[in-house]
Structure 1
């Protein structure tokens, strides 16, 4: 780090750091953040004999930019609680020795124990890939297809026919084809050659899973065309890669580090494992894009419509810039250098009743090359369900989906995916504009959407648990 020439001024002996040796605590009190910049700064100021006003002026000129750009505000107690938890987890996370910078987006919310990268979090790691910082849902991503001559209802009906939600893959005879060139590339990679991953790569093509993944149909506000938007990740292949990557990262953590949280273990890039893992991530990216593509193309064929344009971007991924690896956990990249197949527009969905935003942005000191990936949550799924106690799922569904054609693939409503489960979309957009993260250039106005729904309600283990509970005697009657 190169420091500027100190400014000479009148000495004020009441200011921290006078004639005594300047300490790290002194620099932190004057605005330095904890980190590797402290040691060389201490060496410089003590060699120069700085104190008082001279020290204050030197720190003002030389302190590094904040390691964490907090693009998140709170307007009520619930949001403040969320913000406090996000700040706390980022403070612990940034103590990981590989990390050089971080940012938090307006959709941020905790995603695990303190020290875990939050949803809406971005971090830059030097010469290291942290599997836990892209999560098990590797390359979770969004694709848009604009149709030339389609109407929303027939498009939603068509994607309903084309897609598959829920656990596992497709049955034999109902599968989409995987490129054999891509399959062969999987087989040649030390991570992706795993038999379970190879099988999942075939069976899960054309599936979207569950949770917050969706198929959404709406109309472009700018030109009136019908658009299909899909949201899902790399399914079984990505989950398998994550598991193996965490296993290798844990080995390096035990061999090379002390005091690093297990979820923040990393694979050094300058190792055979690091290179192979990076290559595996790129192959998973290709698989995930193909997964989106097959659903979009099948929808176009079922609806008998033609395609005007198609584009996509990921938000649970790692992006390389020299020896710096940018990890985005639920953050949309806007740096076009990270997106080899972008058209310049990025995609930010909010909730099923709100528009999908099409955005454009330049890299700046606030966004670090990223924007929000959605609306995020202020409370967990279970907490949201508890907050809705007293109303039936049918009543909640009716209230929150009046203006849209909302469908759940399994036939059961999942109220934790209805609009009220998410942050206020207007507020997320306001903060995105307030912090200069991105500009909205179009909106896909909602017609309807499909999500997995509460498929677990009828899962064998849930049915068995209910039957077991029903056989227990009613203790209140004793």
Structure 2
């Protein structure tokens, strides 16, 4: 007998020749590959004899589910007609992004969709898409960076605070932010999230706990940033307790780091195994929320979202401490996530992939670019957009197009003209890569009201 288990070994002990074998082998490879073959086969024999005993088991639960309620794995067919949808700023959106939405609307689980004016092509759903589904979650409809979000801290420090302190403030950003795959804080900060039971009960999350601990308070690469700038409040809410005026602000954009990326990778693979789709929509494979895989993903996704929030809290805490001040207002929102929400009287799973929640009265941040302002907004609760708005300006140039057609010197000149200092930052994040944020905001006036503007002054990004 060889040292590695195969499908033939499982068939010999009585496994049905269906997808349950693939599920079992995948779990063994991930969680039990260092154990003796004989030990695992004894466990699986017991599982075959009494599968009900293993329902909900952290490792063998999915196999038990496959044995007790076998699911027929066959190619899913798309509907002939699309679910209802609305596109905001249609003339500003490329045809590939629209085509991706049209394909998603033909999924048998789709109930309603929308496309925001910053939309552009992505994987599975386009960036800037909102899709409501029936009791199913699409991992790529949430995105790889689960819980990618915005966070703005407003300090009761006047705009004049910048004058004469530019060097000091630039150093505060340098010393208190970390970017990319490997750069982490020397002094780690503990957080209540690390004591969550999910990290003990779900094997995948247990294996990611150390990585999550190391990366707390750090940001990814690409378009993730931390910025110091000016906040101009044009309207205030009573709970803020501050008057109209200009204030110093810290704005951050990042997500759930390696924790979210690994969750996305793992459950996307499970979804594609359990839900085969035609080639053109294969990235839209979903997990039924009544299945163990679907329930696990939902729990893991929500944990990743809370971890992303914890990362922002740590970033802002470090900067606030360096400033010697405490924020008087904090505004934050996810824009890569899924929620259970009522859509036309029916509970649906609403995926927002690069879209800002904009229910009536809900606050959010819609950033521009390094040289363009971001906007503090309040949602209007528009049902046509599934109570959503854009998550930014949206790209008008791909990353490769930026590298082929733009120059670093031109980017630095643009920054200088707008009075913005940049730490790090790659050419593919040039302000010219983005749509006109003012045009985007004009196209969604029925979705959000503007309460204030954030103007970047010092921008920190990955190198």
Which category describes the TM-score, using the shorter chain as reference length? 0.7 to 0.9
**SS, match of residue 69 in structure 1:** strand
Is the Cα contact below 8 Å between 2:193 and 2:307 reproduced in 1?
no
Whether 2:387 is the aligned partner of 1:380: answer no
Could you tell me how far 1:345 is from its partner in structure 2? 1.7
Partner of 1:324: 348
Tell whether the 8 Å contact from 2:357 to 2:379 is kept in structure 1 after alignment.
no
| Residue 455 of structure 2 is aligned to residue 445 of structure 1 | yes
The CA deviation string for residues 259-313 of structure 1, in whole angstroms up to 9 with x for no partner, is 7832111110012222221111111111111100011011011111122111210
- Stretches of structure 1 that go unaligned for 5 or more consecutive residues are 1-33, 39-63, 337-342, 454-478
Residue 226 (structure 2) pairs with residue 226 (structure 1): no
Deviations 1:62-116 (A, max 9, x none): xx9x712111233xxxx5xx4322222211221211111110001000014xxx2
Deviations 1:144-188 (A, max 9, x none): 1111236344555423321101222526x4333233654543222
Q: Does residue 1:161 correspond to 2:179, yes or no?
A: no
* C-alpha distance in 2 between matches for 1:120 and 1:441: 22
- 1:253/1:265 contact within 8 Å kept: yes
Aligned equivalents of 2:170, 2:190: Cα separation in 1: 23
**Partners of 1:218 and 1:446 within 8 A in 2:** yes
Unpaired stretches in structure 2, ≥5 consecutive residues: 1-77, 234-244
> What does the per-residue CA deviation read over 1:114-142, in whole Å, with 9 as the maximum and x for residues that have no partner?
xx211101100111010011111111000
Match for residue 292 of structure 1?
312
- Pairwise CA distance, 1:373: 0.3
TM-score (norm 1): 0.71
Contact 1:72 1:108 in 2 (8 A): no
SS in 2 for 1:136: coil
Partner Cα separation in structure 1 for residue 120 and residue 279 of structure 2: 25
1:46 aligned residue: none
Q: Is the alpha carbon distance of 1:369 and 1:155 closer, same or farther for their aligned partners in structure 2, counting shifts above 3 Å?
A: farther
Secondary structure in structure 2 of the residue aligned to 1:224: strand
Equivalent residues of 2:145, 2:260 under 8 A apart: yes
Evaluate the alpha carbon distance shift between residue 401 and residue 167 of structure 1 in structure 2; reply closer, same or farther with a 3 A threshold: farther
Give the direction of change, closer, same or farther, for the CA distance of 1:177–1:169 in structure 2 (3 Å limit): farther
Q: Distance in 1 between matches of 2:437 and 2:405?
A: 19
Whole-angstrom CA distance in 2 between matches of 1:404 and 1:200? 37
Give the Cα separation in 2 of the matches to 1:353 and 1:396.
Answer: 10
Q: CA deviation at 1:218?
A: 1.6
Match of 2:68 in 1: none
Of 412, 416, 432, the residue aligned with 1:397 is 412
Shift of 1:398: 1.8
Tell me how far apart the structure 2 counterparts of residues 168 and 187 of structure 1 sit (CA, whole Å).
25
Comparing 181-190 and 367-376, the one that deviates more: 181-190
Cα 1:258–1:73, aligned 2, differ >3 Å: closer, same or farther?
closer
Aligned partner of 2:87 among 61, 70, 73: 70
In 2, the alpha carbon distance for the partners of 1:189 and 1:404 equals 48
Match runs of 1:228-267 below 5 Å:
228-254=250-276, 261-267=281-287
From 99, 104, 107, the equivalent of 2:110 is: 99
Cα distance in structure 1, aligned partners of 2:145 and 2:194: 23
After superposition, the Cα gap between the structure-2 partners of 1:398 and 1:258, relative to the gap in structure 1 and judged at 3 Å, is: closer
The question of whether the paired residues in 1 share the 8 Å contact of 2:408 and 2:427 is answered with: yes
Following TM superposition, where does structure 1 have runs of at least 4 consecutive aligned residues deviating by more than 4 angstroms?
Answer: 257-260
Distance in 2 of aligned mates of 1:273 and 1:396: 45
1:364 paired to 2:382: yes
Compare CA radii of gyration and give the structure with the larger one. Answer: 1
Structure 2 partner of 1:353: 371
Verify the 8 A CA contact 1:191 1:276 in the aligned structure 2.
no
Q: 1:146, 1:310 within 8 Å by CA — same for their partners in 2?
A: yes
Give runs of aligned pairs for residues 453-472 of structure 1, distance below 5 A: 453=463
**Partner Cα distance (1:232, 1:318) in 2:** 17
Q: Does 1:310 align with 2:330?
A: yes
Structure 1 SS opposite 2:384? coil
Tell me the residue number matched to 2:437: 425
Q: In structure 2, do the counterparts of structure 1 residues 290 and 297 end up closer, same or farther at CA, with 3 Å as the change threshold?
A: same
The answer to whether residue 426 in structure 2 is matched with residue 408 in structure 1 is no
Aligned residues: 365
The within-5 A match list for 1:80-91 is 82-91=93-102
Specify the alignment match of 1:334 in structure 2.
358
Aligned to 1:131: 139
State the alpha-carbon separation in 2 of the partners of residues 366 and 100 from structure 1: 13
Q: Deviations over 1:36-87 (max 9, x none)?
A: 8x8xxxxxxxxxxxxxxxxxxxxxxxxx9x712111233xxxx5xx432222
